[in-house]
Chains A and B, each alone.
Chain A
Amino acid sequence: MQTLTKPVGLELEQAQMMTGAEAVIQSLLAEGVDTVFGYPGGAIMPVYDALYDYQHFLNHVLVRHEQGGIHAAQGYARVSGKVGVCFATSGPGATNLITGLADAMIDSNPLVCITGQVASHLLGTDAFQETDVVGVSMPVTKWNCQVTKAEDIPAAIAKAFFIARSGRPGPVLIDITKDAQFGKLAFHYEPCQLVRSYVPKVKLDLEQVQRAAELINNAKKPFLLVGQGVIISQAERELLQLVEKAGIPFAWTLMGLSAVPTDHELGMGMLGMHGNYAPNVKTNECDILIAVGMRFDDRVTGDVSKYAKQAKVIHIEIDPAEIDKNIKADVPVVADAKEALQALVEMVHPNDHSAWVNEFHEKRAIEVEKVITQDLFPQKEGLTMGEVIRRVSDHLNGDGILVTDVGQHQMVASRYFQFKKSRSNVTSGGLGTMGFALPAALGAKLGSPDREVVAVIGDGGFQMTLQELATIFQTQAAVKIIILNNNFLGMVRQWQQLFFEKRYSFTEMTNPDFIKISEAYGIPATKVTLREDLDKGVEALLSSDGPFLLEVVVEKEDNVFPMVPSGASVSDIRLE
């Protein structure tokens, strides 16, 4: 490895001449980027060539598929709060990013993706590996643009970072033609602080906050919903101040998970299709519903025509387009959650709603008896996903980062994993992207190297991006991987059982030997099939210094309950 010392970013002498490719790197350094996930190819080779001289300033992680690269960047962004960055070449490299862009868009992850493009004189000629990436990525980016001149690179990157991280965050893509990468410019970097046409957040309307406070002060049965906006705006403390002062029971969405400690005495669990019983039922009994930084996804609301009809709705949300989109707000507060909550805390009166809170506990007891006990302390022979999660969570004592894939294991892990710290849950919520977890866990580990990162993945989803085991091995990122193997596309099988008369159409899998696969990639692994071996397996997993894979064979045909059947009302949630 070369040890060149290069002046970096803002410390550069004024307007140094360099290539567009080098300006890409310098711009990233000026933005404080320390990690990039990427994959090279013809149209982005100049950038990779420039990167060669900057290996000591910028940690580039060579993933094994561009989808892995962008999911890793998402995992990195989600745990660190910083912008995730990835590189890909033109054509197939760029199109491989699309799933991750869609995922980041719907889950509001800040990303800057830089793609190489054919030389500008070839644009529109169907040149080798030419794809209209700006066109293809338009619906799944917050903003995108194509740069065809070297001198436009620094400003484009500055604008990209500003847009990606401000307001409601999202993914931004910059497509840079090869001639722009080769071209020369006098480098000068100016961080972007303003885009005339873009208002990331509006001034807080205190009158609206006052109206919200009045509703809360007069409420008999207030109920608060915590969304990811609380995490993004770092409003965790203000949120707790509000609920504790006014005595408001609350619940979280899948994306809001970990914003507040899961064992908080006013915390009533998770909302939504496979959330907890009490918060779903009580949504249709509260008199004031306070939604903070969430967008009333249909997996949360069920049938909107039967959702919280009896309640007045206060919706605190930074994105004006979310107000009244799915659920009408009686008091909309378009604002950054932190600012709105700071003001609201001052205006609400101290209160206590213990009788109302007890109603949640009564419902909770029913769920404990009918569902939770069987999940966590099963009497039957086969292992349950729930008991595996409980063991892991107990070991970590609320301190770990949980990364989940998509399916039954995701819902079980989200229900039972205990959190004490914010930014500790990474999952594909809005898009439900199988294959997300393994690369996202790698990114999460690199974004939060001092914390234990546990990826919980199904046997199906693991096989969608398992090539990233190689990246994990090469980086030696100490990702702890758990495969909950039911030899089924379990979540789809559950729906087939419940709603398609058990017609198991193409959901059973003959799986490979996951242990051999892991070992072939150089990652130690162990398999547990019996309850008595579970503790040992979990210990091996968590005590390993480097990456480790634990496969647990679980019951083939267990179902996740409670469940709000799709199209049903949240209060028609089923316990079995």
Chain B
Amino acid sequence: MIRKYTISIFTENFIGLLNRITIIFTRRHINIESLTVSESEVKGVHRYTFVVKSEEEKVKKLVKQIEKLVDVLKAFYYTNEETVFQEIALYKVSTAGLKEGRNFERLIREHHARMLTVEAEFVVIEKTGHKEETQELLRQLQPFGVLEFARSGRVAVTKPMKRLSSYLKEMEEDQLQLT
């Protein structure tokens, strides 16, 4: 069954590592729907969040290949239900289109969006949510004249309670028996 999966990858912060990771996707013809990179809660450990649409079997194998990379600490995959996730969207709307101001403001409020800046020629709206929600707001803003639209990749935290630091500890134990 094809579903959306969130892949969380914890890595060292080295140049070129993103490339090493993405070639694992391309080689297996798995399209990357979105990608976000940031620091994690552990100092010096980076967190990549990929979203893919694929079958679990394929994703499982993909994640093993990623975790095999020397500079990757840990890699996991999750279904949507196992994560709490958000994306942020920015909409640049022409002020010329805002003649019927009341409707516009109500729309913003109903969507739990907010006005980020107001300039002479345009306003910028910000909305955080799932893709369907930011997409719906885009649809409803179109009549006002959307000049630009940008949506971030997914950021996600997971529901299981095991923490990265305890995974790192387990890795250390495996490494200790080597020396």
- Name A residues whose Cβ lies closer than 8 Å to a Cβ of B: 134-135, 138-139, 142-143, 145, 163, 166, 193-203, 319-321, 323-325
Contact = CB atoms under 8 A, between A and B. Distances in A.
> What are the 5 tightest A-B residue pairs by CB atom distance, in nearest-first order?
A321-B64, A143-B70, A197-B73, A198-B70, A321-B68
A207 to B, nearest CB: 16
B143 interface: no
5 contacts: A193-B179, A194-B178, A197-B71, A320-B64, A321-B68
User: Chain B: interface secondary structure?
Assistant: helix
A261 to B, nearest CB: 31
Interface residues of B, number: 26
A325 B20 contact: no
A203 B177 contact: yes
Contact of A194 (B67, B70, B173, B175): B175
A197 B19 CA distance: 17
A138 B179 contact: no
Contacts, number: 57
User: Chain A: interface secondary structure?
Assistant: loop
Interface in B58-77: 60-61, 64-65, 67-68, 70-73
Given A134-B16, A139-B23, A199 B174 contact: yes
B139 interface: no
A197 B61 CA distance: 19
B159 interface: no
B16 A320 contact: no
Contacts of B157: none
A320 B68 contact: yes
A324 B173 CA distance: 25
Contact of A138 (B20, B60, B61, B174): B20
Contacts of B105: none
A197 to B, nearest CB: 5
B12 interface: yes
Interface in B91-132: none
B174 A203 contact: yes
A60 B61 CA distance: 41
A506 to B, nearest CB: 30
A321 B61 contact: yes
B171 to A, nearest CB: 5
A143 B71 CA distance: 8
A55 B11 CA distance: 41
B27 interface: yes
A323 B65 CA distance: 11
Interface in B155-179: 168, 171, 173-175, 177-179
